[in-house]
Amino acid sequence: MKNLLLILLTILSVVLPASAIEIDTLWYRTMSSGARDVDFTPDDKYVIAWNNSIEFWEVQKGVMEFSVPTEVAGDYNYTEQYLVFAKDSTPKLLDWQTKEVIEGFEKENENIGRIRTAKSKNEFMANTFHINTKSSTIIGNMIYFYDIESKRKVDSLSFVKQFQKDGYKWKRTIHDYDYVGTNDEIIYVVVDDVNDEIDNIPPQWRKRHYFVHFYNRETKELVDSVYSFTNTNEKFGGFNNMQVMNDRSKIAWNHRGGEINFYDITERNFYSKIIFDEADYVPATNIDLSKDDSKLVVTNQHTTFLKIFDVKSNTLIHEYTKGSFQNSSFSDNNELLITNIGGFLILFPSHINTSSVEGTNYNQLNLTVTPNPASNNISIQFSTATNESIKLSIIDLLGNEIGIIDEGNIENQNYSINYNISNLAPATYFIRLELGSEIFTKKFIKE
């Protein structure tokens, strides 16, 4: 088995970027194609990868249990019973626990864009679009709102397609959108105004403006508008998906350059920012917030990094470099991160607190688990300069306590214990050491 694992790692090191090996990886798997988005199920039992299908990967063992074909990335409805997705230009519902697909929506005449769901009612929004075959650009200026229970469109919001400015014909395209506010009373729409899609103007005069418009959900009245930044031929920043924070009144996004800015919808002002790169124009490939809004992960596919920040102090907690990281998401318990590098799906610890993370302080104890991987017995060792009480236990990837190995006061500062793991199912686990008020963990694999 050990030789097989060595061969597997050697093969993967050839086809997988070196950074994926350097990550404290719990597992990595090959998807059918690159992911458009990644997420977890609300119970953290599955990782979800959205590509040409919704792939469900079991967290504990890293096995894909089932998949459902889809055309776009979707989201959970407000009760989190269903995943809303689309196939054949038709919205559909997936009961992710029973694996049942529920039909009933009418087919659209155009493609359906990214699906965003309300968090206070059974509603979702999506734009429709078509591809300009001459320029290979997306053309779509209509957002529809759907009622999930009746499975019908209830209303819509439209945008101008072209307008005159500075002597040029500009084209406007919907870039992103979502619900904001405790009762989903506001929606934001990111629009992309570009002057080089219609007239063939010289490169030095080409511009692309990004604006974030806020509308009243019911009246469609424009209530706020924020200029984000302008791309030119010399400075190109890109624009990633924005993230609505869990209190629903604030948004985080790559507002300009190497910054993540935080915007308060109620106060209508920017109140904080995180510098993830000192360069003026560095687009974030993806950002995601932990479920308590305390931590933020930002990835950049081109300058190759994944960084985790503390939101309150705006400080860097952990980072990986030299990897073409694309999408990323925290688990609901905030203890795990999922990301993808091309067609590889990678699960690893979030490194945001010592209760769930291997590697923060354990080296000062020299906490070790041998052999690793193991089949029947493991030896756990550490050294400490104190005589505090301990609790030594095994937890799985979902944070569940599987068993208690030892508990009480230690007499020897050079601690060692053997433990039989033959009854554990093959998977990845953690040894968790609670030493006084501190917590340390060490990963091991049961073959």
Residues 6+ apart with CB under 8 A from 49: 31, 35, 37, 38, 55, 57, 340, 345
> Is the peptide bond prior to 373 cis by the omega test (within 30 degrees of 0)?
yes
Side chain identity, residue 314: N
pLDDT band at 386 (very low <50, low <70, confident <90, very high): low
Q: What is the dihedral of CA 300, 303, 306, 311, to 10 degrees?
A: -70
Six-digit token string for 152: 């019908």
**17 pLDDT exceeds 60?**
no
Q: How confident is the model at residue 141 (pLDDT cuts 50, 70, 90)?
A: confident
Residue 62, phi-psi category: left (phi > 0), alpha (psi -120 to 50), beta (remainder): left
* Range 186-190 average pLDDT: 95
Cα angle: 421, vertex 424, 426; to 5 degrees: 110
pLDDT (tens digit, 9 = 90+) per residue, 331-363? Answer: 998 889 999 988 899 998 887 753 333 433 434
pLDDT value for 357: 37
Say what the pLDDT of residue 363 is. 44
Per the structure block, which two tokens stand in for 119?
Answer: 């968090």
Q: What is the pLDDT of residues 229-254, one digit of tens each?
A: 888 877 776 666 789 998 899 999 98
- Token readout for 231 is 């791309």
Q: What does DSSP assign to residue 118?
A: -
Domains of the chain: residue spans and CATH:
2-349 (2.130.10.10), 362-446 (2.60.40.1930)
AA letter at 389? S
Q: What is the pTM of this model?
A: 0.79
